[in-house]
Amino acid sequence: MAQSAQETQRENAAMLRRLVLAIVTFGILGTGFELILLDHMEDNWQWVPIVLLAVGLPASIWLLLSPGFAIIRAYQVLMGLFVLSGFVGQWLHFSGNVEFELEMYPSREGLELVWEALGGAYPSLAPGTMTLLGLLGMAACLRHPALDSRNVSPQNMEKS
């Protein structure tokens, strides 16, 4: 029996969605291990990405294995928090580097200060990993069939 073009598109979208979720899951696992190995736990702010990653790992696995309306919505919120934490982390890393640079070289300013702060002891762009994982997680939920209230038969849920 030949598949319709629409069925093929749905299957391809479901496969791509699962692949992106698998990539996010492995990214969460790797990033979490890296932060633990780096002892990224000196203050409360440094615990934020670790906690989000610890919540994100089982949520990603749950979404991979059993997608449904509630987990998708919760995952979207969680991924929004990932994105927010990435931006906050970048600001905190950059600010810490600016502070350090000004202590060492009080006369630094402007573009020179920004450039040195970007390459400082705290990797200013590293928290962008949280932003990237969050955006990928959101993309995996985009137009998910389980979110379509007109399309909630058990048969269609399995194809997600």
What DSSP assignment string belongs to 140-151?
HHTT-GGG-TT-
The whole-angstrom separation of Cα 95 and Cα 19 is 36
Model pLDDT, residue 158? 47
DSSP reduced 3-state for 83: helix
Model pLDDT, residue 58? 98
DSSP code of residue 105: -
pTM, two decimals, is 0.87
| Residue in 84, 97, 79, 160 with CA at minimum distance from that of residue 127 | 84
The whole-angstrom separation of Cα 44 and Cα 61 is 27
Helix (H) or strand (E) holding 133: helix 128-141
Model pLDDT, residue 148? 86
The whole-angstrom separation of Cα 98 and Cα 146 is 46
Model pLDDT, residue 92? 96
Model pLDDT, residue 159? 47
Running along the chain, 160 residues long, what does each successive block of 10 average in pLDDT?
Answer: 84 95 98 96 96 98 95 97 98 95 94 93 93 98 86 48
| Residue in 49, 21, 30 with CA at minimum distance from that of residue 160 | 21
